[in-house]
Amino acid sequence: MGFGCLHIYTGTGKGKTTAAIGLAIRSAGAGKKVAFVQFDKGYDGEKEFYSERNLIRKIENIDLFCYGCGRINPDGTFRTTITDEDRAEAQKALRCSEQLLQVQTYFLIVLDEIITSAHIGLISQKELFKLVEMFKRNRFSELVMTGIKAPEELMQISDLVTEMKNIKHYYTTGRKVIKGIEF
């Protein structure tokens, strides 16, 4: 049994994924192997929406796994509906995560937006906690989970919890998202 810790980055404020990316880069910079799994942030193989992935793909020690359907509508608005295809992609991300937690390949495993995916019903709370139990049985890696509204039970059993709190955000002024800042 290893000694890895369970890290949770949650809350309604900006910065959860950004913090996870920073930790992944730090680990990779230390010569450690990183798996970065993104739930509900797919990639069609051609048009990259998330700018950070252009660089993450170039970092030798980080393996990036992207799952999900596009969330940006042709008019630039955000799609909030959930489809069967969204759920199917989340299941693929879940299977990938299960496989990664069973091998001793990675020093750090990031499951980005998994908490949000459980909150909005792309995966079940039971599936989320099943992954946590898999991790706790082995603890080969450090495990980071991100997303809004982490369940209280998850926060209680975690080793580290950081809550990003939204105090003020320029979205309320009508400012549009800016490439390089929000995506």
Dig out the tokens for 131 from the structure. Answer: 């992954």
pLDDT in tens, 118-162: 999 999 999 999 999 999 998 999 999 999 999 999 999 999 999
Residue-wise pLDDT for 8-67, tens only, equals 999 999 999 999 999 999 999 999 999 999 999 877 667 767 778 888 999 999 999 999
Residue 59 lies inside a defined structural domain of this protein: yes
> In terms of Cα–Cα distance, which of 97, 109, 95 is closest to 4?
109
Could you tell me if residue 64 is inside a domain?
yes
* Predicted local distance difference test score (pLDDT) of residue 44: 66
C-alpha to C-alpha distance for 148 and 11, rounded to whole angstroms: 5
Residue 160 φ/ψ, nearest 5 degrees:
-145, 130
Q: What is the pTM of this model?
A: 0.91
The answer to whether residue 179 sits within a structural domain is no
User: Into how many domains does the chain fold?
Assistant: 1
Say which residue, 175 or 119, is predicted with more confidence.
119
Which residues constitute the domain of residue 36? 24-141+152-163
In a domain? residue 174: no
Instruction: Give the CATH number for residue 119.
Output: 3.40.50.300
